[in-house]
């Protein structure tokens, strides 16, 4: 008996099954966030995201990793397979541009303008602030989003990070 294996077809089928499971997991995550908000209000996912960001920042501090703001931000986006470009505009502002290989956000998914603010306000912003606040407690952070994959259907996450000294 002769077995004819077409490895390219096999690879494509395996890849499609993995992608299907990844999309299913992302859909589950997105529904989970919406349910969290429905049950506990918007503060529940914000608090969880902020705490998770702070835990990551604490882990960096505990390991003695001293980072500047630019390097810290790069670490977050490299972990999400993004290509970050962070430019300090002045002492109080950074331009943050993260390019992804596809028009797909690893947190909020594909183009869906109604979903973008939900994930920006409840996941992205609180997580990033929690992380930065833990590493740089002397500052207050804010942001202005210019582009978001689910909002603009591009491959970029683009925002201005604003920094203020805390008033003592």
Give the whole-angstrom CA distance, residue 168 versus residue 166.
Answer: 6
> What was the pLDDT predicted at 152?
93
Q: Which two tokens stand for residue 2?
A: 């002769």
Closest CA to 77 of 14, 8, 149: 149
CATH class as words, domain 11-165:
alpha beta
For residue range 2-32, what is the model confidence (pLDDT) as tens digits? 444 444 444 444 444 544 555 566 666 667 7
pTM of the full predicted structure? 0.78
Q: How crowded is residue 36: how many other Cβ atoms within 10 Å of its Cβ?
A: 16
For residue range 133-148, what is the model confidence (pLDDT) as tens digits? 999 999 999 999 999 9
Contact between 107 and 148 under an 8 Å Cβ cutoff? The reply is no
As a whole number, mean pLDDT of residues 36-63 equals 85
């Amino acid at each position: 008996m002769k077995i004819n294996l077409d490895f390219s077809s096999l690879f494509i089928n395996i890849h499609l099954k993995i992608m299907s499971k990844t999309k299913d997991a992302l859909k589950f995550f997105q529904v989970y966030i919406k349910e969290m908000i429905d049950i506990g209000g918007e503060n529940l996912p914000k608090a969880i995201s902020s705490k998770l960001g702070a835990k990551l920042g604490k882990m960096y501090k505990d390991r003695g990793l001293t980072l500047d703001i630019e390097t810290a931000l790069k670490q977050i986006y490299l972990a999400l397979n993004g290509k970050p470009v962070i430019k300090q505009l002045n002492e109080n502002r950074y331009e943050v541009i993260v390019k992804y290989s596809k028009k797909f956000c690893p947190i909020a998914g594909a183009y869906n303008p109604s979903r973008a603010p939900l994930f920006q306000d409840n996941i992205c912003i609180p997580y990033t602030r929690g992380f930065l606040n833990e590493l740089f407690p002397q500052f207050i952070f804010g942001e202005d989003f210019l582009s978001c994959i689910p909002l603009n259907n591009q491959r970029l996450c683009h925002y201005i990070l604003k920094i203020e000294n805390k008033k003592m």
